[in-house]
Structure 1
Amino acid sequence: MPAPFPPAHTAHPLTLPDGTTHPGTVFLKPVIDHPRIEVGDFTYANAFEPPEDWAAHLAPYLYPQSPERLIMGKFCQIADGVVFITASANHRRDGFSTFPFAIFQGDFESGRPSLPQEPGPDTVIGNDVWIGKDARILPGARIGDGVIVGAGAVVHGEVPPYAVVAGNPAKVVRRRFDEASIARLLALAWWDWPIARILHHEAAICGADLVTLEAEAERFGG
């Protein structure tokens, strides 16, 4: 008989066979307290050496006063070594020098000529996105639902839903399903269902049984 599924507010949701919890696996929502990071339920991250500060570990250039945000949906899977390089890491690059003279005088927000002149964009990760080991997600990336990011990939720009991307710069290797199936999956949005309902249909979700899932959605009105 399997153990109950851990609630979304559980910091360390992975229990090992000896009954101890795995310190390097966390649901991110309960362990991140950062004004510029939003994380959906059940999104987890793994680290071989667990950090004290998961926000700084994952997004080291995102400061409390940063104008941009890092937004992650539900049920994402973040492997060891993944780093989100958010827009506050940017240097001005339209002039002769990229050197940030202002910050070495403690001047971070005055609009000095050596600082970027416009706030950078948010970085947005969809639902059920798997980001492989040591991937780098660049400022302003928008990764669609169901995407798989290959290990070591460097991702920028917009990645369509249910794509597999790999390489540096990351490129779409293939789409996981045909366009019609992807549209049906996005309309279904199973990740918004109650967790008990998701677990009840684990076989259909993990076995790509759209017919069963759509029948379930119709039965409950979405």
Structure 2
Amino acid sequence: MDKFFDGSLSPMMETNRGCPFSCTFCHEGHAVYQKVNFFSMERVNAELDYIAQRVPPQVHNLMFCDPNFGMYGRDKDICKTVAGIQQKTGWPKDIFASTGKNKKDHIADALFELNGSMQMWLSVQSMDDDVLDNIKRTNISLPDMLQIQSTLSANKLPSKSEIIVALPGETYGTHIRSISKLVTAGVDTITAYTLMLLNGTDMNTPQQREKWGFVGKFRVLPRDFGKLA
């Protein structure tokens, strides 16, 4: 793996695989991914140490590819391990991860260990109940979000949320109301993504495409890159 520590790539790692949720727009919403499998803490700690010893000085970040980082009890221990590496080496300065959909208080408690180097993701995709039913998703309530955001702000921890444009049943009005609720909650950064019909997702089946009248078009994906001969 050492050849990839060339300064042009950022390290990415998983501490578990699988997702207990059933969001229809996500390939991990499929039943085959419902069981969450955890890598041993020995493996996770060894991988973190391996990366820390080899990452070049111009690379400042680390990405956890878990679908629900911070939601499980042991994630706080992983954050403590990362914090120890930060104290010894100064790396990573920025940590990226998709934090869990539920147990936001547990997630915030874990992120406190990282001294502001990782954002809390309060992603909702939509805050309209009918749209959430259509995509088989449940969000935390707005009062709970307000409480968590207050705790994050008091501890000077940044927050981020994501919403998806053109979900089934979404309208201009419901989309704007979702943004308004996130602004009211005090979320620091709000990112809107266009709905993508991904292969392997329930939403991209012929039945779902016909039910919601989807008209798909191809486009260049942001942040993708490659070498052309």
TM-score by length of 2: 0.24
Looking at both structures, which has the greater relative contact order when contacts are Cα pairs under 8 Å and sequence separation is at least 6? 2
**Richer in helix (by share):** 2
Under a length normalisation based on structure 1, what TM-score does the superposition of the two structures give?
Answer: 0.25
